[in-house]
A = this chain, B = another copy of it.
Amino acid sequence: MVNIAVLGYGTVGSGVVEVIRTNPESINKKAGDEIHVKYVLDLRDFPGDPVQEILVHDFDVILNDPEVKIVVEVMGGVEPAYTFVKKCLLAGKSVCTSNKELVAKHGPELLKIARENNINFLFEASVGGGIPIIRPLNSSLTADEILEITGILNGTTNFILTKMAQEGWEFDAALKKAQELGYAERNPEADVEGYDACRKIAILSSLAFGDHVDFEEIYTEGISKITAKDIAYAKEMNYAVKLLASSKREDEQYYAMVAPFLVPPTHPLYAVNDVFNAIFVKGNVLGDVMFYGSGAGKLPTASAVVSDVVDATKHLHCNIMSFWSSRKLGLTKVDKAVRRFFVRVPDGTDAKAVFGDIDEVRVDAIGGEFGFITQPMSEEAFREKCEKIQILSSIRLL
């Protein structure tokens, strides 16, 4: 029997307990041992909930119990999660977490402690909810040099953009709907401004490239400025607008960014709608693969956490996650990245004088302006050109 403790009995924490109680037979078979939840830590009480019997309010009870071999951290936020997780690892307990803030900020240090203690720090659920992506990056895509990771990593914004496209709504109306359905927080900033996606792409990039990508260095732009008009032009051109978190390696230069992009129908991310997430990966020999699924939600996220618990159980004294050094990866400034841009300008603008040969795009219902797609150019060159004319809006092309 392997005893585990769950830190935090919120949405994901209660999901973890539920998943283990739903599929005990198959989980124990795959783990090769019986997984037993010995403690749940939460400051609150849950009278009437069977969890009450194993509930503790004092973290030290868990830390000091040598029977607890695996700790699940699903509290979220950097503190006290960081302090608790570090203490557990130093005490020789493996940790499985869904906490992207923690992993993005302290991943290299916690991985190092796990390595030194021959235990595991696992975080499948920190990116893409239930979608297997951390473990595939770590143990499936091992024959390749990863050239690109581009993901729809935030379900809230994908839902908002999908609704805007399907219903013709403005951003505020779609956000309100997302809040009503419980897909968006009352304070939606972390989602809609791209901060959530930024931490997730930092984690994926660090794993893919082997060195630490600091999330604070990733250029991040959200979707709150996207309008119904922008979406109408995108539909006219048969593109979808998606908030993409992307990192690329080109000639030993590394780029990373989070921003809205126009995605063509030929790209597999084009059809990823509603709250679904997907992660597109390009390897130098593998070519393109994509992983798709529920990027959030109680049970999908809990499923990913429990798959980590199974793996930690199978590898109680054997470190299995090790390709993320604490050496910092220098990112090239986004200024240098070359791509095409979609631009909206008022009627009468001499766009050709600035951008050369362009094709005007017009949407029947929108008067007084037109749009066009530029030739490929650097972000820097694009910004310089934009200063010469009046721009209504612009969106990058994938």
Q: Say if the beta carbon of A13 comes within 8 Å of chain B.
A: no
What mask results when residues 70 to 107 of chain A are scored 1 for a CB within 8 Å of chain B, else 0?
Answer: 00000000000000000000000000000000000000
Q: Are B140 and A286 in contact (CB under 8 A)?
A: no
A268–B271 alpha-carbon span in the complex (Å): 8
Among the 9-residue stretches A54-62, A289-297, A353-361, A388-396, the one with 4 or more Cβ atoms under 8 Å from chain B is A289-297
Residues in chain B near residue A300, CB distance under 8 A: 285-287
Residues in chain B near residue A191, CB distance under 8 A: none
Q: A27-B143, A29-B323, A136-B136 are in contact. Are A286 and B271 (CB under 8 A)?
A: no
Q: Are A130 and B293 in contact (CB under 8 A)?
A: no
Among the 9-residue stretches A18-26, A192-200, A252-260, A370-378, the one with 4 or more Cβ atoms under 8 Å from chain B is A18-26
6 contacts between A and B (CB under 8 A): A18-B285, A26-B144, A29-B210, A139-B307, A143-B304, A292-B292
What mask results when residues 129 to 165 of chain A are scored 1 for a CB within 8 Å of chain B, else 0?
Answer: 0111001100111111100000000000000000000
In the complex, the count of this chain's copies comes to: 2
Residues in chain B near residue A145, CB distance under 8 A: 23, 26
Question: Quick one: which of B132, B268, B285, B293 contacts A19, CB cutoff 8 A?
Answer: B285
Q: Are B132 and A140 in contact (CB under 8 A)?
A: yes
The 8 closest A-B pairs by CB, nearest first: A143-B306, A289-B293, A132-B140, A271-B271, A290-B292, A286-B303, A142-B310, A30-B142
Q: A23-B144, A287-B300, A297-B287 are in contact. Are A139 and B135 (CB under 8 A)?
A: yes
Residues in chain B near residue A302, CB distance under 8 A: 143, 285
What mask results when residues 282 to 326 of chain A are scored 1 for a CB within 8 Å of chain B, else 0?
Answer: 011111111111100101101111110111000000000001000
Q: Are A23 and B141 in contact (CB under 8 A)?
A: no
Question: Which A273-288 residues have C-beta < 8 A from chain B?
Answer: 276, 283-288
Smallest CB-CB separation from A323: which chain B residue? B30
Which residues of A are in contact with B by a Cβ distance under 8 Å? Answer: 18-19, 22-23, 26-27, 29-31, 124, 130-132, 135-136, 139-145, 210, 268, 270-272, 276, 283-294, 297, 299-300, 302-307, 309-311, 323
Q: A30-B142, A132-B140, A303-B144 are in contact. Are A22 and B294 (CB under 8 A)?
A: no
Q: Are A27 and B142 in contact (CB under 8 A)?
A: yes
Residues in chain B near residue A310, CB distance under 8 A: 142-143
A271–B294 alpha-carbon span in the complex (Å): 18
Smallest CB-CB separation from A130: which chain B residue? B286
Q: Are B299 and A294 in contact (CB under 8 A)?
A: no
Residues in chain B near residue A306, CB distance under 8 A: 142-143
Residues in chain B near residue A286, CB distance under 8 A: 130, 293-294, 299-300, 303-304
Smallest CB-CB separation from A310: which chain B residue? B142
CB of A398 to closest CB in B, whole Å = 15
Q: Are B140 and A135 in contact (CB under 8 A)?
A: yes
A293–B282 alpha-carbon span in the complex (Å): 10
Residues in chain B near residue A141, CB distance under 8 A: 132, 303, 307
Smallest CB-CB separation from A22: which chain B residue? B285
Q: Are A285 and B303 in contact (CB under 8 A)?
A: yes
Residues in chain B near residue A130, CB distance under 8 A: 283, 286-287, 289
A214–B5 alpha-carbon span in the complex (Å): 41
Q: Are A23 and B285 in contact (CB under 8 A)?
A: yes
